[in-house]
Amino acid sequence: MEFSIGILRPSSPKYHQQPHIAAAPLAATRSACNSRSKSLHSNGLVDLMLTIINAHGYLAGVVAFLICAGLLPLIRHTAVNLDIHDLPGHLKIHAVPIPRLGGIAIGIAILASLMLSPFRGAPNVTGVCLALMVIWYIGLLDDLMNLSPIVRLIAQLFAGVLVSQTPWGLKLVGMPLFDIVLTCLFVAVFVNAFNFLDGADGLAGGVAGFIALGYAALYSNPALAIGGLVAWILLGACLGFLAFNFPPARIFMGDSGSTTLGFVVAFLALDFYRVHYHIGTRWLLPLVFAALPLLDFFLAVLRRVRRRVSPLSGDRQHFYDLLLERGWSSMQVAFGAYAVTGALLIVGWICMDASWQLSLIVSLATVAGLLLLAARLGAFRWGADFMLMSRHPRSSDRSSSD
């Protein structure tokens, strides 16, 4: 059996049946893994879940939701008992300590759902899962031990090397070393962009969930396309976490959660680029979908470089900080980010069906609009007086910053 991807584009028949891309290895592995699964598992809950996910790939998201939402109360209780809290500080906007380690549930939900999917055990997918585990584990260590930015960056680049050795590695110029470097940078940028985004209740999880929904809508049968399956899994994990993180948050995801979300979104982008080779603007849609966290990340790096401080150091000039300064509540910031991300999904879908000229114009206009909005909020004020802003945290703003 081969894997195919059907794109939900009623007005564009060419998207209903995409060419088969590197399907044979995954198809063969899937068949072998299914046979092995029958011999290893007795009839029970695991077999039932495997049957459901094989038949309806989008239900993998339901499994991820149940796992994440089911684990969070236990993790929160453990974090409280062990006094593992995110404490208020000059770079934080919450006024009281909040339990963290919610990223443990996110990581387990995503990995467990993948292990119950038709792609479990596939060599190529195993490499991606190993990279995901590296990102998740180093984030968890950072939550517990406060690792240095250099250690975290090295781990992220190593995860990028693992991805580069799979079919999802970027192959742009035919020079292996250069392509490995590009893949590593791509992964590191997405990982840190979502780490920076984790600064208000429901923000990173909600934005990642919207982006996952944007990718999931592209696949008519996610059981046969790993991109669609992972998108639904990510969406389910995000919704499960938001049940406990939506304002006011009862638990934070920590670096183990935010970096995991960034890595999975990066994988969805790489998978889209790899599969839709026939679309000239295939590189636009992933960037448009994630334009909000990416622009916030690059603006943060730029102003920190101008101030001659580490790009991975913290400040209080992210877009959510600036909105909170203007009197927005954490809930308003979250809904504002959701609205912007939803609009970006529409722009991305338009770029899929349009000519490359129109797609480029629409994308540039969208980025220009976001930059104008950022300028109006004050994101381009480079003065050092904005490095540590003096706003006192309010009890209603119970979230962490990068």
DSSP string over 275-289: H-TT-TTTTHHHHHH
Question: Where are any strands of DSSP class E within 22-90?
Answer: 85-86
Other beta carbons within 10 angstroms of residue 388's beta carbon come to 11
pLDDT of residue 386: 47
Which DSSP string corresponds to 143-167? HHH---HHHHHHHHHHHHHHHHTST
Enumerate residues 6+ apart whose C-beta is below 8 A from 237.
64, 65, 67, 68, 105, 106, 109, 110, 113
What is the Cα–Cα distance from 80 to 102, expressed in whole angstroms? 12
Q: CA nearest 103: which of 60, 132, 61?
A: 132
| R_g of the chain computed on alpha carbons | 21
Tens-digit pLDDT profile for residues 264-286: 999 999 999 988 766 667 788 99
Phi then psi dihedrals of residue 399, to 5 deg: -150, 170
- Return the amino acid letter for 363: S
Q: How high is the pLDDT of residue 291? A: 96
Q: What is the DSSP letter of 5?
A: -
Place of tokens 């593992």: 84
Euclidean distance between CA atoms 158 and 165, whole angstroms: 11
Q: 23-40 and 123-145 helices cross at what angle (nearest 10)?
A: 80
DSSP string, 32-44: HHHHHHHHH--SS
Each residue's pLDDT expressed in tens, for the chain with a length of 402 residues: 333 333 343 334 333 333 333 444 444 444 544 544 444 344 566 666 666 666 566 788 999 999 999 999 999 999 999 888 877 655 566 567 888 899 999 999 999 999 887 777 777 888 999 999 999 999 999 999 989 999 999 999 999 999 999 999 998 877 889 999 999 999 999 999 999 999 889 999 999 999 999 999 988 666 668 899 999 999 999 999 999 999 888 999 999 999 999 999 999 999 999 887 666 677 889 999 999 999 999 999 998 888 888 887 777 789 998 999 888 999 999 999 999 999 999 999 988 877 888 888 988 999 999 999 888 888 777 654 444 443 333 333 334 444
How far apart, in whole angstroms, are the C-alpha atoms of residue 102 and residue 255? 9
Bridge partners, residue 154, by sequence: none
* CA dihedral (195, 199, 201, 204) positive or negative: negative
Query: CA triplet 301, 329, 235: central angle to 5 degrees?
Result: 70
Q: How far is CA 304 from CA 128, 257, 310, 312, in A?
A: 32, 24, 6, 8
Total-model pTM: 0.82
The DSSP symbol for 14 reads: G
- Whole-angstrom distance, CA of residue 274 vs CA of residue 276: 6
Non-local (6+) Cβ contacts of 3 within 8 A are 20, 23, 26, 27, 30, 224, 225, 226
In three-state secondary structure terms, 96 is coil
Provide the 10 A C-beta neighbour count for residue 304: 19
What is the pLDDT at residue 74? 96
Looking at residue 308, its pLDDT comes to: 84
pLDDT for the residue numbered 90: 57
- Token digits for 167? 């079919």
